[in-house]
Amino acid sequence: MRPASAHEINTYLNTSKKGYVAGADGYIYNREKKVGYRITNGQMCVRYSARKTDCADIKTDGDSFQMITRDGQRSKF
């Protein structure tokens, strides 16, 4: 597996059609939730309402995606 591109992650999450809006802090926010996402090549960071941020690596083989957390745990994305 290789690092997923920002375009692949955004396409997979369908961020352009799910009501996400760009914040001034560089994160995109879902209008229904107070959670922000910053997507870059190979990584996605989540900012929670309490301003806590957590990041994970996103890998793909072109068909499926895996998320690898900071402590090395893997799960389907």
**pLDDT digits over 4-37, tens only?**
999 999 888 887 776 788 888 888 887 777 788 8
* Three-state secondary-structure class, residue 76: strand
DSSP-derived letter for residue 9 is: H
Nearest Cα to 28, choosing from 11, 41, 16?
A: 16
Residue 42: its pLDDT value, please?
93
Average of pLDDT values for 49-70?
A: 90
Residue 61: its pLDDT value, please?
94
Q: How crowded is residue 44: how many other Cβ atoms within 10 Å of its Cβ?
A: 20
The Cα–Cα gap between 41 and 6 comes to: 4
The Cα–Cα gap between 40 and 8 comes to: 10
The Cα–Cα gap between 40 and 6 comes to: 5
